[in-house]
Amino acid sequence: MPVLPVNGIRIGSTAAGIRYKGRDDLVVIECQSGTSCAAVFTRNRFSAAPVQIAKKHLGQVSPRALLINSGNANAGTGEQGLLNATECCQILADSLGCEVSEILPYSTGVIGEQLPVQAFKQALPSCLHNLGADADAWERASKTIMTTDTVPKLFSRKVDIAGCEVTITGMSKGAGMIRPNMATMLAYIATDAVIEQPVLQSLLNEATRVSFNRITVDGDTSTNDACTLLATGIAKMAAITENSKEYEQFSSVLTALMQDLAQAIIRDAEGATKFITINVSGGESEDDCLAVGYTVAESPLVKTALFASDPNWGRILAAVGRAPVSKLDISQVNIKLNALRIVTAGEPDTSYTEDAGQEAVSSNDITVDIELGGSDNRVTIWTSDLSHEYVRINAEYRT
Amino acid sequence: MPVLPVNGIRIGSTAAGIRYKGRDDLVVIECQSGTSCAAVFTRNRFSAAPVQIAKKHLGQVSPRALLINSGNANAGTGEQGLLNATECCQILADSLGCEVSEILPYSTGVIGEQLPVQAFKQALPSCLHNLGADADAWERASKTIMTTDTVPKLFSRKVDIAGCEVTITGMSKGAGMIRPNMATMLAYIATDAVIEQPVLQSLLNEATRVSFNRITVDGDTSTNDACTLLATGIAKMAAITENSKEYEQFSSVLTALMQDLAQAIIRDAEGATKFITINVSGGESEDDCLAVGYTVAESPLVKTALFASDPNWGRILAAVGRAPVSKLDISQVNIKLNALRIVTAGEPDTSYTEDAGQEAVSSNDITVDIELGGSDNRVTIWTSDLSHEYVRINAEYRT
């Protein structure tokens, strides 16, 4: 589906020279007055200055604009970082003629360096001058928020709610320091549907749980993760309420869109050559299924084996065996690699051959199915492999 | 200190061709009758066949011999793996004229392939023919148990116990799949001191807790970890009892030796270019200190930054912030890199400069000090960096 603009949203991008040369790094997303806004943020205790400010502003009024920069995370910057984030918001508020609390700030990039406020100040007029409501504005912004990303992530969906066709469009960025716990770094989704804030927040929470909160590249939860959902309410429809058929319809399309955005991050993960889906079922609890899934997903040995297209399933088995779960009966464990049975009832499957294993992992998309027992609990996690390129990117990131 | 043989221990090595060509891969450690034996094993739930058999045999009688092979882990091998391990023990027991339960088996190498019992059978006579009690026998065995290790790990200490000089000599192996949880893959320590089994076991447990259980390369707990401590009791001394001065003396030297062995594994970690010591203090509990320490130690982003000698301390801060601890007051957090203050009271230290940071991480030995608060809890963890070579080794391991 082509990118669909959202009624009530205008976006401007520009080059402020915050860190990168010769590319855009500053975005303003302006919302129609009365837009509902829901957001989830990182649970990293060293949350970045913009995260702290955005959380503070969010509770007060409905936002007038989102202010986003790449190249500098404004994290680990202490009191000065908070002052700088607030000052940038104030400059934008002055231009738009609104309160500082109506601006939500977001930053992504290097941790531990102060934000160059002067660069914001100089670049904002051009950013506002570029405000546009069309698909191009979304496309340009989705590139502006990239850091080590190699492709922009931008998707649209339409959904019919009680006879009214509404649009949901979202963009995300992220390729490393990815193990969102609450949301992932810089995702922005907008819809023209009519949804009051509390309902919007539960829609976002539910979709986040099975999209951004189910991906991992390196287990490193960012200090800046933030996912924001805007509902401009311009569509001619009754407001969506909780526990309604319309809620379920919207929720299912929102979840699918957010899974697209989350999976796009994994496909563009730093140095990734494989897209790995890990299904874990039958654990004592959903948490146990997640613990096993993340232990496998983040095992450097599993990731390097898959990078090498080596069906070294012993490493998967060893990772399952060390996962921090309350109870594990290995005689009930079944493991499949792209549908090929490798472990059955805790033992090597008798039909397994090395040739079949080799074929199973030769594909770029690999699914690992892990059954722990007979319960109905079931989770899916998406991850990437660990390649030379991951090491190169992260060894050279600041140089 | 040169390698000191231990009275009552004879060791033989030979080439059985289990996997490697042109090198030794099979060791027999024969113990004087009446030798006390203490051991700790992996907590990985998919523990290898030899681990299961060794645990079973250990409770029965004092061991006559340890049988060790490299190249094949006999893990993930199901019922057949248990039969094979037992058969190998039986062949050795027949040669030595003892019960099968007096043999403890150990394996290290590739997971998921059956042990070639025939190769054991053919090679054992030559292994027993080579039995020797001198330092050369220890040195040869310490090389025989290597897999991706590049150097053998073998250390000796002497300790005076109530006027009697006793010897402790130990060897270990391991370079990857290292996050011991109980003990690490294949460490063998022997002493001629007189120590009954229950006392020996508590000495081993205490020393393991602050040596092998404090190292991590990749967070991947092996299926085959096992650390075994033998006391031949040949020294002319009274038995060491718990809560005695002699216990403390022996314990402190044993711990130092086991820390040497554990640190040697980290210095030889797959692809390692840095030796990283992480001290965490002041947490709510020792477990909280460990959680923070391991989160930093196993963060791919911290490890790649240190590989690049990049003082990217924001990644350390982000890792501390995502550690699974019950309570963290970031305003109390202090972080130092090789004694250079980088974070003070949760904010960037005002004296920090990028040049000073660069100098701090340019060394091959890097100490990260993390203070979480005012409690007396304090732990030390040792780890390595994440390099291109780690990925190469683990992508090519089976090919």
Give the tens place of pLDDT for each residue, B299-340.
999 999 999 999 988 899 989 998 999 889 989 999 999 999
Q: Do A395 and B321 touch (CB under 8 A)?
A: no
The interaxial angle of helices A313-322 and A286-297, nearest 10 deg, is 140
User: How distant is the Cα of A108 from the closest Cα of chain B, in angstroms?
Assistant: 13
A97 band by pLDDT with thresholds 50, 70 and 90: very high
Rounded to an integer, what is the distance from CA A151 to the centroid of its chain?
A: 14
Residue A390 has which token pair?
A: 């991951």
Q: Do B343 and A43 touch (CB under 8 A)?
A: no
CA–CA separation, A220 vs A390, rounded Å?
13
Flag the least confident range among A86-95, B16-25, B144-153, B203-212. B203-212
Instruction: Say whether residue B297 is in contact with chain A using an 8 A CB cutoff.
Output: no
Domain end among A219, A245, A267: A267
In this predicted structure, the answer to whether residue B204 has a pLDDT above a threshold of 60 is yes
B144 band by pLDDT with thresholds 50, 70 and 90: very high
In this predicted structure, the answer to whether residue A60 has a pLDDT above a threshold of 80 is no
CA–CA separation, A358 vs A352, rounded Å?
11
Average pLDDT over residues B227-234: 89
Residue B3 forms part of a structural domain? no
Residue A4 forms part of a structural domain? no
B14, B147, B184, B223: the active-site residue:
B184
What pLDDT is attached to residue B105? 95
Asked if B86 and B212 sit in the same domain, the reply is yes
Give tens-digit pLDDT for B179-196. 776 555 678 888 988 898
Residue A59 forms part of a structural domain? yes
A188 band by pLDDT with thresholds 50, 70 and 90: confident
Domain end among B230, B251, B267: B267
Asked if B40 and B76 sit in the same domain, the reply is yes
Q: Do A394 and B110 touch (CB under 8 A)?
A: no
What pLDDT is attached to residue B16? 97
Domain end among A205, A233, A267: A267
What pLDDT is attached to residue B15? 97
User: Would residue B277 show up in a list of annotated catalytic residues for this protein?
Assistant: no
For A42, nearest residue in chain B (alpha carbons): B322
CATH of the domain at A368: 3.10.20.340
User: How distant is the Cα of B333 from the closest Cα of chain A, in angstroms?
Assistant: 10
Q: Do A78 and B318 touch (CB under 8 A)?
A: no
Could you say which of A77, A78, A218 has the minimum Cβ distance to residue B300?
Answer: A218
The phi, psi pair for B378, rounded to 5°, reads -155, 130
Q: Do A76 and B181 touch (CB under 8 A)?
A: no
Q: Do A308 and B347 touch (CB under 8 A)?
A: no
Please report residues of B whose CB lies closer than 8 A to that of A221.
318, 321-322
Instruction: Say whether residue B373 is in contact with chain A using an 8 A CB cutoff.
Output: no
Asked if A239 and A345 sit in the same domain, the reply is no
Q: Do B307 and A76 touch (CB under 8 A)?
A: no
Please report residues of A whose CB lies closer than 8 A to that of B349.
none
Q: Which residues of A220-250 are buried (b: 16+ CB within 10 A; e: fewer)?
A: bbbbbbbbbbbbbbbbebeebeeeeebbebb
Asked if B234 and B356 sit in the same domain, the reply is no
DSSP reduced 3-state for A388: helix
Asked if B280 and B218 sit in the same domain, the reply is no
Instruction: Say whether residue A144 is in contact with chain B using an 8 A CB cutoff.
Output: no
Give tens-digit pLDDT for B35-76. 999 988 888 888 899 999 999 998 778 899 999 999 999 998
DSSP reduced 3-state for B49: helix
Residue A2 forms part of a structural domain? no
A108, A144, A169, A184: the active-site residue:
A184
Asked if B46 and B78 sit in the same domain, the reply is yes
Number of domains present in the structure of chain B: 2
Asked if A48 and A110 sit in the same domain, the reply is yes
Instruction: Say whether residue B43 is in contact with chain A using an 8 A CB cutoff.
Output: yes
Asked if B305 and B169 sit in the same domain, the reply is no
Residue B163 forms part of a structural domain? yes
Could you give the ipTM of this predicted complex? Answer: 0.81
Residue B2 forms part of a structural domain? no
CA–CA separation, B241 vs A346, rounded Å?
42
Asked if B113 and B64 sit in the same domain, the reply is yes
User: How distant is the Cα of B291 from the closest Cα of chain A, in angstroms?
Assistant: 13
Q: Do A304 and B76 touch (CB under 8 A)?
A: no
Please report residues of B whose CB lies closer than 8 A to that of A301.
176-177, 218, 220, 394
Asked if A321 and A293 sit in the same domain, the reply is yes
Residue B14 forms part of a structural domain? yes
Instruction: Say whether residue B223 is in contact with chain A using an 8 A CB cutoff.
Output: yes
**Domain enclosing residue A49, as ranges:** 9-267
In Å, how far are A236, A342, A376, B166, B307 from A286, measured between CA atoms?
39, 23, 9, 53, 36
> End-to-end alpha-carbon separation of chain A, Å?
38
CATH of the domain at A253: 3.60.70.12
Asked if B21 and B37 sit in the same domain, the reply is yes
Could you say which of B319, B391, B398 has the minimum Cβ distance to residue A386?
Answer: B391
Asked if A147 and A285 sit in the same domain, the reply is no
CA–CA separation, B320 vs B331, rounded Å?
13
Could you say which of A181, A307, A317 has the minimum Cβ distance to residue B76?
Answer: A317
Q: Are strands B347-348 and A103-110 parallel, antiparallel or unpaired?
A: unpaired
Average pLDDT over residues B124-153: 94
**Considering the entire predicted model, what is its pTM?**
0.85
In Å, how far are A18, A120, B340 from A117, measured between CA atoms?
9, 5, 28
Instruction: Say whether residue A221 is in contact with chain B using an 8 A CB cutoff.
Output: yes
Residue A65 forms part of a structural domain? yes
